A = this chain, B = another copy of it.
Amino acid sequence: MSSLKQIANDLGLSVASVSNALSGKGRVSPAVTKRVLSRANELGYKPNAAARALKTGRSHILGFVLPDITHPLFAKFAQGIESAADAVGYGVLIADSRDDGNGQAAAITRLVQRGVDGLVIVPRRGSTLTAQSIPMAVINSQSDPMNTVSANHFQGGMLAAETLLKLGHNHFLLLGADSLSDVQKERIAGMQRALSDQAKYKTIWADKMKIDIATLHDEGITAVIAVSDLSALNIMSSAHQVGLKIPEDLSVVGFDDLPICKVISPQLSSLAPDVQEIARQAIEFLCLSIDGAEQLPKSNVINMSFISRDSTASPTRK
Contacts and interface: CB of A to CB of B under 8 A. Distances in A.
A102 to B, nearest CB: 14
A95 B82 contact: yes
Interface stretch (A7-15, A73-81, A166-174, A289-297): A73-81
Nearest to A47: B113
B241 A266 contact: yes
6 contacts: A50-B53, A70-B76, A72-B72, A82-B94, A236-B237, A238-B265
Interface string A217-243: 000000000000011011011101100
B72 A96 contact: no
Interface of A is mostly: helix
A49 B264 contact: no
A75 B69 contact: yes
A36 interface: no
Interface stretch (A85-93, A149-157, A185-193): A85-93
B93 A91 contact: yes
Contacts of A115: 48-50
Interface in A13-61: 46, 48-51, 53-54, 59-61
A136 to B, nearest CB: 17
A68 B111 CA distance: 23
Nearest to A177: B263
Interface string A79-123: 100110010000111111010000000000011111100000000
A113 B50 contact: no
A226 B75 CA distance: 24
A259 interface: yes
A93 B69 CA distance: 14
A183 to B, nearest CB: 18
B50 A78 contact: no
Give the top 4 A-B pairs by smallest Cβ distance, nearest first. Answer: A50-B53, A49-B115, A240-B240, A50-B54
Contacts of A264: 233-234, 237
Contact of A234 (B48, B68, B241, B263): B263
Contacts of A96: 78-79, 82-83
A114 B69 contact: no
A82 to B, nearest CB: 5
Nearest to A90: B114
Contact of A237 (B68, B71, B111, B265): B265
B95 A94 contact: no
A214 interface: no
A133 to B, nearest CB: 9
